[in-house]
Amino acid sequence: MAFNPDFDLFQLPEEYRELRSAIRQIAEEQIAPHAAEVDADERFPEEALKALNESGFNAVHVPDEFGGQGADSLAAVIVIEEVARVCGSSSLIPAVNKLGTMGLILAGSDELKAKVLPDIAEGGLASYALTEREAGSDAGGMKTKAVRDGDEWVLNGSKCFITNGSRATWVTVMAVTDPEAGSRGISAFMVHKDDPGFRVGGLEHKLGIKGSPTAELYFEDCRIPADRMIGEEGTGFKTALQTLDHTRPTIGAQALGIAQGAFDAAVEYVKERKQFGKPIAAFQNTQFTLADMKMKIDAARLMIYTAASNAERGVAEDGGKLGLMAAGSKAFASDIAMEVTLDAIQLLGGYGYTRDFPVERMMRDAKITQIYEGTNQICRMVMGRQILT
């Protein structure tokens, strides 16, 4: 962010402000009108996918040499924030496209990038398969295995809670290649939806983000070419951790957008709703609640933007650790999203509890941001360890 002496305040450079304006217009005109229906019908947001694909906002992070826009991490979080402001489910299109390809971008060969990234830039979806039924926060305890067979790897196992897993063209899959080496025996692979032995199982029925399918994935003697490994054998867990330094801020951006959307709805409502002969916005307790909501959102935005900007540079400017910044921004923003959406429901009273207004959906959507890409408890553990080392 740049210092503007004419206005004595910090603000985004003009290109980011223009980006926000462009994606906000698309979100409000083409995504927001379908958000309630997407949630109620638990269907994939096809309208959002079409709008994001046509505008190039579906995967802005893909380098331009592979057909993308080559946008930096700050631009990516702005896009996610603005889509989440109107529809949490739809924001997972750009967010998970980044999650599902970040490891490849960081550690993959140019040949593998050239095979995968143009598909995503042209409208395909990526996904990321790390979690298993018995390996959630303890990702190093995964059981999915990959065995070398000549010029192929053969995968066997399953993954669960995979966001957009049933719609993905390409999936980054973590699997054990050396059972005796612990986390150093985990490798990363790119699996295509048409690979033999790959199968999508059932979908989860969830509290929120109902328009984003959360799938179980099965690998039954799933054969993939040997050159689909990301990086060197045994580096998959390291790649996964590096990925999170870049993608935890995107979940923070999703949470931030949801919080902003709920705040905007609450402000609009309290100006119109009258009690005791005047708008409830005139009451001091309403104003204090709005002030607290605003402060929290602004603080979260600064943390998210700072983490995203530093992740792009590869180092924290003050010598700090990227993992600490990424985990902290994600945990803080998602906690704020829960607080703000609950406050918004309270301000709307009984109406806030109904589907006639979007804040109850936003509250349900916000909850998952405290859980995925590292629960907020795990994020605090990451922070604590890095603070002390």
Where in the sequence numbering do the catalytic residues fall? 373
The DSSP code for 132 is: B
Determine the angle formed by the axes of helices 46-55 and 88-107, rounding to 10 degrees.
Answer: 50
Residue located via tokens 């590869």: 314
Q: Which residues pair with 155 in a beta bridge?
A: 146, 222
Look at the block and give the residue holding tokens 């060969």: 109
- Count the Cβ atoms, other than its own, within 10 Å of residue 367: 18
Q: How many CB atoms lie within 10 A of CB 33?
A: 12
How far apart CA 203 and CA 91 sit, in angstroms, is 19
Structural contact between residues 96 and 127, judged by C-beta atoms closer than 8 angstroms: yes
C-beta neighbour count of 274 within 10 angstroms: 11
Task: With beta carbons less than 8 A apart as the criterion, state whether 32 and 48 touch.
Answer: no
Count Cβ atoms below 10 Å from residue 14 Cβ, excluding itself.
9
Task: Give residue for tokens 């990234």.
Answer: 117
Tell me the residue type at 360: E
What's the half-sphere exposure (Cβ side, CA atoms, 13 Å) at 171? 32
Q: Are 82 and 117 in contact (CB under 8 A)?
A: no
**Residue 325 C-beta-side C-alpha neighbours within 13 Å:** 24
List the structure tokens of 81: 């924030």
Is residue 74 exposed (0-12), middle (13-18) or buried (19+ Cβ within 10 Å)?
buried
